[in-house]
Every structure is written in C-alpha cells, then in structure tokens.
Amino acid sequence: MVLSGYDNPITLFGVYFSRAKEDVTHDPTTLALATSTPDGFPSVRMVLLKAIDERGLVFFTNYDSRKGHELAHNPNAAMCFYWPKQEVQVRVEGTIERISDEDSDAYFRSRPRLSQVGAWASQQSAPLRARELLLKRVTETEARFDGVEIPRPTNWGGVLLVPKKMEFWQGHPGRLHDRVVYERQGDGWTTSRLYP
C-alpha cells in the first residue's frame, strides 16, 4: 500500500525517492515531462530531477527549446516518475516558474565542463543539418572559453514545477493497485483514494 501518515505529498515523495536511490540499476531522477503547445497538442520527453524542496521539483533546460517555448505559452505541466524495483509511480501536475538566476548559476557551475560547453553550443530543438556542425560549435565554444570559467547562458536555467496535484501509485498483484491522490487546498492538501 501507499505509505500513510503524511500530510504533505512532497515529504512522502522524498521518502519514496530515497528508497529509489538504493536501486543502482535505475536512475531515480529520470522523469517524463509533459507540456503542450498553445493549441493544446501534448508533447513529452525524459528529463532529470535536479532538486526538490517544499516549493516543488526542479529541472534545467534551454529556455529556447521546444519545451521552453511550450512552457512560456502554457505554464502548466505534468511529471511522471516510475521506480520499477519498488513498483511505484508518482504523477505530479502543476504550474511552472523559473528559479532565480543565482540558483541557476550555482547549478551551472556544478556541471561538468563539457556539459557547460554543450549548453552554449547546442541550439536545443532547432533543426541540425549535420552532426559535424554541432561538433564544430563545441570546438568553437571550447576555444572561446579556453582557460576561463564558463558563464551560464542567459537562455538556460532552472524550472520549478509547483505541484497542485500528486498521485502515488503502488503496484499490487492482480492489478489491484493502490492509488492515493493529494490535491492542494489553500495552504494544505486533501487526500483521496482511487480505484486501480
């Protein structure tokens, strides 16, 4: 059954997330992020969770990417985590806001240098005629910042999903799964159980 006794789903998420970290065969930070176009057409891709606190869940992206543009036009998004060893799925729905430049800068400085170079070299989601053009941009970026600290590009940074709804799904034999939903009500949360 879904763990009980938690008034706040972010706290409960932290418990499951800590357990998922024990599974060395699966990266627990991997999540499916769903956004939609201004006319409501959905799109989904895998990203990595980089922080979680009482406000919500943080990932990083190029703001000029497809997801960046979609979130700018429609700041509603959903995440889905699946941790197979625990047979647990967590769905999160909410609104998006950018984190502070200072927090984005701090995370950018912690990234491997090649990842920093890639943030400058890649025009994420734009058409690419040939991979060689990307590699050329990487070489040019490495030369540009040779011997100096690489600053964060202004079009790259952190995005916070502020949860409005979180569902915890625990698998059980016979597809008699356990599903518990938390929904934000003012400063607190209500809970309910769903049929599998």
Q: Can you tell me the distance from the alpha carbon of 170 to that of 120, in angstroms, rounded to the nearest whole number? A: 41
Q: Name the residue with tokens 């008034």.
A: 7
- Check: CB of residue 159 under 8 Å from CB of residue 72: no
Which domains are assigned to the chain?
A: 9-110+154-194 (2.30.110.10)
Neighbours of 179 (CB within 10 A): 16
| pTM (two decimals) | 0.93
pLDDT 10s digit of each residue in the chain, 196 long?
A: 899 889 999 999 999 999 999 988 999 999 999 999 988 999 999 999 999 999 999 999 999 999 999 999 999 999 999 999 999 999 999 999 999 999 999 999 999 999 999 999 999 999 999 999 999 999 999 999 999 999 999 999 999 999 999 999 999 999 999 999 999 999 999 999 999 9
Neighbours of 83 (CB within 10 A): 19
Residues designated as active site:
175
- Check: CB of residue 153 under 8 Å from CB of residue 161: no
